[in-house]
Amino acid sequence: MHTHKNYTPLNNIRIIRTARFIIAIAATLCCVHVHSQNGGSNSSYSRFGLGLLNDQSQGWNKAMGGVGVALPSGSKLNTMNPASYAHIDSLSFILDLGMSGHFGRMSMSGSGVNVNNASFDYIAAGLRLRKNLGLSFGFKPYSTIGYNYTTTNEEAYRDQTTGELIRNTTNYQGKGGLNQVFVGLGWKPFSNFSIGTNVSILWGGYDHVMMQQFTVDNSASNNFDGFNFIQHSDVITYKLDFGAQYAFRVSPQDWLTLGATVGLGHKFDGDAFLYRFMTSGDTLRVEGEKDGFDIPMSYAGGIAWQHKNNLIVSADYHYQTWGDCRIPAMVVTGNNVTYPSTDKMYKNHYMLKAGVEYTPNPLAPKGYYKKIKYRMGFSYSSPYMNIPQGEGKLATMHEGPSEFSVNLGVGLPLNNYINSRMGIKSIVNVGVQWLRRSPSAQNLVTENYFVLNLGVTFNERWFMKFKIQ
């Protein structure tokens, strides 16, 4: 007995599908464990706000600068605009996952240190529920916090009686961030127009630790502790995003697609505490406001031009109203310590992204290199956070760092005999990125990173009906 058109026997096909799915899930669980152990950041800037905001793009469009608002799903997933789910291939179950490695250098005032870390970026799955209706669900980090550094003030104070120099050494440590799980639907009510929504649950928090020590004339026997602080929070909330896409033909070989998304901002509750103590055991706990957190309204628009079936050029603009959002922050007035919510830690934030993808001949019967997808792009992001000038002094603020990145990458089809006979369109996405975080003020850290991005899209023809002869 054999399958129609000499396909692999049905039981073998099921075994192959099941094995690939199990391998993908096992790899993902390992990546999630890595992410839970490492926030995916070594940046000192993750100390402020909700941490560093994560790139929400996936393996295939990271190399295109992170564009995606006007790009549809088809043989791949695009979670940046839920309207794209309406275009998911009717025969496919798609599983997409990715991770990245960061190799960077942090420098300030002529000195620097190398930092390296790995992070799990996302997992997403999608399928078509019925004609013109697609479903997607997954997990991706929203923000990350991870740092450990020490500063020393060589001329902090002098004893007014003895004139001895008292040096101040402060260690800063932090971990945490917000994670999100989401489920989304995309629907095409009429030809070339689709709408969709993502519903997400955000959860997580932060632990920020500041430990002070004073040394008299650099003598170990004359060390004494200053006040130490721990900031802690646990939060959980929801997030709603809506999207739309409209495509129209501008010539027999050219399509233009317009896309837009809106995310709803709102207040949310969270446990927030500040602990002030000395090693002698004197501890003071200060509670923050219960509803002292916000996520911003977000808006995005994009445009994409597709020529034939081998060239895509796209650009996005994103805007987020972080300037209206609050987060608890420590305020020290004399010996009085409070932990109120404030909007002084944030500023409105925008991103510009552009990218291109070129495939020499995606339908070539022979020639593997003709089917490789070559990608490039860039992005610019304005600061979303402000940085206090002095610990606990919120009156004078520095603008946080802006980000600029340049990206290159390829999409490598998993093109073997079994895949081609089964109609499988799985692909490995490899990209490299140069990322620079530049502060607007002097005496702040500049960060340069080389990032290696790796993503795998498993596109399995789970819903193909095989005929048995």
- pLDDT (mean) for 80-95: 91
- pLDDT (mean) for 411-415: 86
The Cα–Cα gap between 318 and 301 comes to 7
Q: If you count them, how many residues does the chain have? A: 469
DSSP 8-state secondary structure symbol assigned to residue 309? T
Quote the tokens at residue 417.
């005999």
- pLDDT (mean) for 130-147: 94
Taking CB atoms within 8 Å and a gap of at least 24, the contacts of 18-24 are: 20/458, 20/460, 21/95, 21/458, 21/460, 24/95, 24/97, 24/456, 24/458
* Residue 363: Cβ-neighbour burial (10 angstroms; 0-12, 13-18, 19+): exposed
Query: Three-state SS across 58-76?
Result: CHHHHCCCCCCCCCCCCCC
Q: How many other CB atoms sit within 10 Å of the CB of residue 459?
A: 24
3, pLDDT greater than 80: no
- pLDDT (mean) for 397-403: 88
The tens digit of pLDDT for each residue in 209-236 reads 988 877 776 555 566 667 788 999 999 9
The Cα–Cα gap between 343 and 276 comes to 23
pLDDT the model gives residue 280: 56
135, pLDDT greater than 70: yes
Quick one: pLDDT band at residue 17, thresholds 50, 70, 90?
low
Dihedral sign from CA coordinates of 213, 214, 219, 223: negative
DSSP 8-state secondary structure symbol assigned to residue 339? -
At 443, the amino acid letter reads N
At residue 419, the 3 state secondary structure works out as helix
At residue 331, the 3 state secondary structure works out as strand
Question: What percent of the chain clears pLDDT 70, i.e. is strictly above it?
Answer: 80
Looking at per-residue pLDDT, the higher value among 38 and 405 belongs to 405
Quick one: pLDDT band at residue 38, thresholds 50, 70, 90?
very low
pLDDT the model gives residue 431: 97
Query: Which parts of 330-369 fold into alpha helices (H)?
Result: none
Locate the DSSP E strands across 217-292.
223-225, 228-251, 254-263, 266-268, 270-277, 283-287
The Cα–Cα gap between 187 and 278 comes to 58
162, pLDDT greater than 70: no
Please choose, from the candidates 56, 61, 77, the residue with its C-alpha nearest in 3D space to the C-alpha of residue 375: 61
State the pTM of this model.
0.86
At residue 122, the 3 state secondary structure works out as strand
The tens digit of pLDDT for each residue in 294-336 reads 999 999 999 999 999 899 999 999 999 999 999 998 887 777 8
The tens digit of pLDDT for each residue in 362-390 reads 888 788 888 899 999 999 999 999 887 65
